[in-house]
Amino acid sequence: MDEKKVYTAVEIQKMLNLSKSKLYIFLDEAYRRQDPFKVLKIGKLYRIQKDSFDKWINGEV
């Protein structure tokens, strides 16, 4: 089975312990800047590139 390549917004919300409104403000800004990690937006859905997010959360970037 293929390794997961993206996180959902709900998964990021749980990892960062953010409210839903704060999460979407943060993801929208990250999407616009593509920093501190890569964010894809498909319609209203956000998908966060796993490798990019993992490096950021582990302080590798």
Question: Contacts for 3-7 with beta carbons within 8 Å, 24 or more apart?
Answer: 4/50, 5/49, 5/50, 5/51, 6/40, 6/47, 6/48, 6/49, 6/50, 7/47, 7/48, 7/50, 7/53
State the pTM of this model: 0.87
Assign 3 a pLDDT band (cuts: 50, 70, 90): confident
Give residue 52's pLDDT: 96
